[in-house]
Amino acid sequence: MRGHLRALVFAGSVMVALVLSGVAGRSVHAEQAGTPEVKIDNFSFGPATITVAAGTTVTWVNRDDIPHTVVSADSVFKSKALDTDEKFTYTFSKAGTYSYFCSLHPKMTGQIVVR
Amino acid sequence: MEQEDKKSADLHDDGVDRRGFLKCMAWAGTGLVWTMSGGVPVSQVFAKSIGKQNKSADLTFVQISDSHMGFNKPANTDVIGTLKTAIDQINGLGTQPEFLLHTGDISHLSKPEEFDNVDQILKSANAKEVFYVPGEHDMLDDGNGKAYLERYGKSAKGAGWYSFDKKGVHFIGLVNVVNLKAGGLGTLGQEQLEWMEDDVQHLKHSTPIVVFAHIPLWSVYPEWGWGTDDSAQALGYLKKFGSVTVLNGHIHQIMQKVEGSVTFHTARSTAFPQPEPGKAASPGPMKVPAEQLKSVLGITDVNFVKGKHSLALVDSTLA
C-alpha cells in the first residue's frame, strides 16, 4: 500500500518534472539522452557513478550468474533480488546524490548524481 | 608437559606437525583430517578414509552448505542431483551422523519450491535432524527472511539465531546475513551479540563450543566481502573456552585457520565452486569441466570424542 502511494507520488513528480522541462524546452534533449543503464557485472556496478538530469529513469541490469539487489543507502529505492538478466528501473525526480549498494554483497556500491 | 606428550603422540600418528598443518592450510584441494589435542592442531592428508578413524567418536555430525537450490547456470545445471549425491554419500558413511548442519544458502532465490526441494531431498538422509542457519540467498522473499524463519526458525531468536547442546558440546547458530551495511561485510548486530554473551555465560570453560554461521566469522578476504564486521566481539565471548570450532560456508571452498583455541573451517558447497580469493575478477560461480565438478563439491564430517578434547573434521568431495 505504502509502495503504491510512493509510486504514485513519484509518478506525479516525474510528470511535473517533464512538464517543467517541456516548458523550458529541454524535453527533446532529455529524450535523446535515452535511459542510462548501469550494468551489474563481476560483482560491481558499472559505471559506479553516473550523473543524470532530474526526471531521468535509470535502468540496472544484472549480467552476473548470481542475484544482486539495488538498494538506496537512504531507503529511497530498493529492488527485489535481480536474477540473471533481470532489470530494475527508477526515476530520479529530485536533484541530489543517491548512494546505493547490493544488500546481498554490500561491498558492491554505486552512486547516481541527479542534477 | 602432558600437552607436549600428547602432541608428540599425535605427531607420531599423523606425521604432520604444526608447520605441516600451516602449509596444508593453503587451498586444500583434496581434503584434510585434523584433530585438536590440548589446543594444538595436528593434521594428516585425507585419503578416502571417512568413518574409519572415528568409530569411537561420541558425537558425529555432518556439515553441508550452499546447496543453492534453484541455481541453473553453467557452473552446475543439476543442483538437485549434486545435493542427492551428497546425501547418498552421508548415508554411506562408516559412522552415521546424529544430525546435519546446513550453513546456509539453502536456496538460490528463497522461493518456496526451492526450499521444498531441499526439504524433500534431505528427507532421504538417515539422520533425521537438521539444524540450519540462513545465507543471504535465503532472505530474498518479500518478507526479508520471514519465509526462512517460518520454515526453519520457529523456535529461534531474532533473525534466526539459537543454541543447543548435544552430548556435552554446545552449538551456537548465528545469523550474519541480515541488515548488511553499504561497503561492509557480514554483520551479527548488537541484539544477537548480547544474546550470545548471555548464552555462553553459564557454561563451563571446558565445554567444547561449535559456532556455525553462513559468512566466515574471520577475515578470509574482505575485498570480496568474505568476513564479518563484528565477529571479533563474538569471538571475544568465547576466549575462556578451551575448544572452539567455527564452521562456515559462503565461499564454496575449504579454508581453515587456527587462532589460539579457536579453529575456523569453511565447507565446500554442494552446488558449485567459487574461485580462490583474488584469483578471478569476482567471486561468482566458477565453471569447471563437467567431469571435474564433483571433485570440487563436498561435505564435512565432524567427530567429537569425549575426554580426549579432540574434534576432528574430515572434508570429502562428492567425486
Higher pLDDT, A24 or B122: B122
In a domain, B2, yes or no: no
Looking at residue B308, what is its pLDDT? 57
Number of inter-chain CB pairs under 8 A, A vs B: 56
**CB-nearest partner of B180 from A44, A64, A106:** A106
CB-CB under 8 Å, B225 with A105? yes
Average pLDDT on A19-40 reads 55
Looking at residue A55, what is its pLDDT? 96
Cis link prior to A47 (omega < 30° from 0)?
yes
ipTM: 0.81
**CA–CA separation, B286 vs B293, rounded Å?**
10
Count of domains in chain B?
A: 1
Helix (H) or strand (E) holding B256: strand B255-259
Domain, as residue range, for A81? 2-114
C-alpha cell at A25: 524546452
In a domain, B37, yes or no: no
Chain A residues interacting with chain B (CB cutoff of 8 angstroms): 42-44, 64-67, 73, 80-81, 83-84, 99-101, 103-107, 109
| Contact (CB, 8 A) for B281 and B291 | no
- Residue found by looking up cell 564454496 in the block: B252
Looking at residue B141, what is its pLDDT? 96
C-alpha B22, offset from chain centre: 19
- pLDDT higher than 70, residue A24: no
CB-CB under 8 Å, A84 with B108? no
B184: domain CATH number is 3.60.21.10
Domain, as residue range, for B250? 57-317
**Which residue in B has a C-alpha nearest to residue A104's C-alpha?**
B136
Looking at residue B146, what is its pLDDT? 96
Torsion angles phi and psi, residue A32, rounded to 5: -65, -30
- pLDDT higher than 60, residue B1: no
CA-CA-CA-CA dihedral for B137, B141, B145, B147, to nearest 10:
-110
Average pLDDT on B183-204 reads 97
In a domain, B9, yes or no: no
In a domain, B311, yes or no: yes
Contact list, B70 vs chain A (CB under 8 Å):
none
In a domain, B52, yes or no: no
**pLDDT band per the 50, 70, 90 thresholds, residue B305:** confident
**Which residue in A has a C-alpha nearest to residue B142's C-alpha?**
A80
| Contact (CB, 8 A) for B62 and B302 | yes
Record the pTM: 0.82
CB-CB under 8 Å, A65 with B75? yes
Count of domains in chain A?
A: 1
C-alpha cell at B172: 551456537
Q: What does the pLDDT look like over A37-95, one tens digit per residue?
A: 999 999 999 999 999 999 999 999 999 999 999 999 999 999 999 999 999 999 999 99
In a domain, B235, yes or no: yes
Q: What does the pLDDT look like over B5-19, one tens digit per residue?
A: 333 333 333 334 444
- pLDDT higher than 90, residue B283: yes
Higher pLDDT, B201 or B308: B201
From B232's Cα to the closest Cα of chain A, the distance in A is 19
**CB-nearest partner of B182 from A66, A67, A99:** A99
Cis link prior to B97 (omega < 30° from 0)?
no
| Helix-helix angle B79-91:B112-122, to 10 degrees | 30
> What is the DSSP track for A47-100?
SSEEEE-TTEEEEEEE-SSS-B--EETTSS-B---B-TT-EEEEEE-S-EEEEE
CB-CB under 8 Å, A44 with B180? no
C-alpha cell at A35: 535511459
> What does the radius of gyration of chain A's CA atoms come to, in whole angstroms?
14
Higher pLDDT, A34 or B155: B155
| Contact (CB, 8 A) for B250 and B226 | yes
A69: domain CATH number is 2.60.40.420
- pLDDT higher than 80, residue B170: yes
- Residue found by looking up cell 605441516 in the block: B20
**CA–CA separation, B224 vs B27, rounded Å?**
17
Average pLDDT on B205-229 reads 97
Contact list, A66 vs chain B (CB under 8 Å):
284-285
B31: left (phi over 0), alpha (psi -120 to 50) or beta: left
